Structure 1
């Protein structure tokens, strides 16, 4: 816990950083421009998935490979949106464009370890459920984890590559690393955390098209599923946006995204019917409790270089940027 003198010193440090690094635009307000650039970027990302004409479902390897090509191109060009936004709004900062997008070396190791560990704490219940139900011993699991053949099989599986590598990397790059630097100067860090996920959640509505196209359920069921997915992805997007702003790194959100894709939404109904449900449910409760206890300590900006680059874009010092 920081003393009052240290806390005051931190606030003054961030204020000096704002005074020296951030220049407010002299031209038009960046708010509507920020939203416009974010919408354009989101539409470009989702639109790239549909440039290929095909009657095959989204999980077909051919479709996945084609979409890899288009989303990787859009993601590779996404920094140009931030560069163009910065040029149009005349926002000037000392951190480089890559640093603002969370691509930097300072604090990289804690940025890789701590956010992922925090997310695993949140999933303590599902992880405990997996351990109990897993037929393998701990030794077997370690052996598989270090088996090159296992990883070769994973890398040859297009669905695994999409869910664990390409989707987490490209979505976090586009919807967090590129959008948050554009939103923070006008909305501030706190508001940006809850604004940015709206673009992310809406971007997932395109799944409705394929579900309806291949008649995978009733219309009401598909719409209900889409609303649930929007809610879930918006909450998750707010969490990874929080991590990005607090740590100033892209890798943390990417690894958390990949881990959550692997775990899926917690099967609470299964936990209620589990033979060892008391142990499993206790793990769920402890996971949520410890998650909120460790949320701010594990994302303390002092571990990652204070202030984080994206925090220097805030129009005024924010408590989220304080340790």
Structure 2
């Protein structure tokens, strides 16, 4: 018999308790896997990175099984398949890969302009390097690059978005799940701007129904890092740079809902886990 008495923010205390404990255990498992290896070596040492790759990939591969177990126990056995619920499907995937990434680049308009000013590149030379297989071979051989651009974005979004959000939504509803989901990372690790970013990628996941968008946005933000406000204040063209900072933020908020319009991405599986009247503002 299903343990769910009510969908969308009204799942009852039993369902909510199961969902919250499941998410907390999954978060502890992910973050704990990073520290099971005792070593005096710095965190950027290739040996440390490889060991963490091993443990975090194991937890990430087990996380869909954790979601499946939750689904079986709470009664969500019908509806979209597990992979579709986790945002792994082909419908609307091109838009899901491009539009959220472009939106994130708009937010970083100022830092991107600052980067171009400080490191002027020839466009053709840049494209030639981008298309050079040797360039990508060097990236793939760099453990820090692999961690920051591939493994961390993929595993964090898989665990904290694709697997946790479906467990939270029936209890909290869609909007509150966006805010609640990043807190599990903060509880076991640290509260910082990463919680704000986690809410953003949770929003992208729910609005698009795809995992690829949050992963690519995460990878891009890891590459850009936190905006160098101090360097911008001392920049000889600081007025121009801050104009683009401001323009980027304004355009981001103007484009946030239009560029994540669910009609671009097909049906949203996660919306099946909540009441229609509680999901209208996010799912449509």
**Equivalences for residues 295-314 of structure 1 within 5 A:** 295-306=256-267, 308-314=268-274
Q: Tell me, in whole angstroms, the C-alpha distance in 2 between the residues paired with 1:44 and 1:24.
A: 25
- 96, 105, 118: which one aligns with 2:90: 105
Which residue does 1:25 correspond to in 2?
A: 4
Kindly tell me the number of residue pairs found equivalent between the two proteins: 276
Which residue does 1:36 correspond to in 2?
A: 21
Shift of 1:24: 7.4
Shift of 1:28: 6.7
Q: Tell me, in whole angstroms, the C-alpha distance in 2 between the residues paired with 1:250 and 1:37.
A: 20
Which residue does 1:209 correspond to in 2?
A: none
Residues 1:242 and 2:203 are matched in the alignment: yes
Contact 1:24–1:91 (CA under 8 A) maintained in structure 2: no
Q: Secondary structure at the match of 2:250?
A: helix
Task: Give runs of ≥4 in structure 1 deviating > 4 Å.
Answer: none
Shift of 1:53: 2.2
Distance 1:255 1:54, change over 3 A: same
Which residue does 2:141 correspond to in 1?
A: 156
Contact 1:75–1:170 (CA under 8 A) maintained in structure 2: yes
Which residue does 1:114 correspond to in 2?
A: 99
Residues 1:180 and 2:165 are matched in the alignment: yes
- Structure 1, unaligned stretches of length 5 or more? 1-22, 206-229
Which residue does 1:254 correspond to in 2?
A: 215
Q: Tell me, in whole angstroms, the C-alpha distance in 2 between the residues paired with 1:203 and 1:320.
A: 31
Contact 1:246–1:320 (CA under 8 A) maintained in structure 2: no
Q: Tell me, in whole angstroms, the C-alpha distance in 1 between the residues paired with 2:106 and 2:95.
A: 16
Shift of 1:320: 3.4
Residues 1:75 and 2:60 are matched in the alignment: yes
Distance 1:69 1:189, change over 3 A: same
Shift of 1:203: 3.9
- 181, 186, 199: which one aligns with 1:196: 181
Distance 1:24 1:244, change over 3 A: farther
Q: Tell me, in whole angstroms, the C-alpha distance in 2 between the residues paired with 1:153 and 1:311.
A: 41
Q: Tell me, in whole angstroms, the C-alpha distance in 2 between the residues paired with 1:279 and 1:321.
A: 35
Distance 1:286 1:111, change over 3 A: same
- Structure 2, unaligned stretches of length 5 or more? 6-11
Which residue does 1:288 correspond to in 2?
A: 249
Which residue does 2:8 correspond to in 1?
A: none
Contact 1:186–1:315 (CA under 8 A) maintained in structure 2: no
**What's the CA shift string for 1:129-161, capped at 9, x where partnerless?**
011111422222112111222111111110000
Q: Secondary structure at the match of 1:279?
A: helix
Shift of 1:39: 0.6
Which residue does 1:274 correspond to in 2?
A: 235
**What's the CA shift string for 1:2-54, capped at 9, x where partnerless?**
xxxxxxxxxxxxxxxxxxxxx87259731010000001101111111122221
Q: Secondary structure at the match of 2:121?
A: coil
CA RMSD of aligned residues (A): 1.5
Contact 1:54–1:63 (CA under 8 A) maintained in structure 2: yes
Q: Tell me, in whole angstroms, the C-alpha distance in 1 between the residues paired with 2:207 and 2:221.
A: 19
Shift of 1:312: 1.1
Q: Secondary structure at the match of 1:310?
A: helix
Contact 1:179–1:196 (CA under 8 A) maintained in structure 2: yes
Q: Tell me, in whole angstroms, the C-alpha distance in 2 between the residues paired with 1:241 and 1:295.
A: 13
Q: Tell me, in whole angstroms, the C-alpha distance in 2 between the residues paired with 1:188 and 1:30.
A: 13
TM-score by length of structure 1 reads: 0.82
Contact 1:189–1:320 (CA under 8 A) maintained in structure 2: no
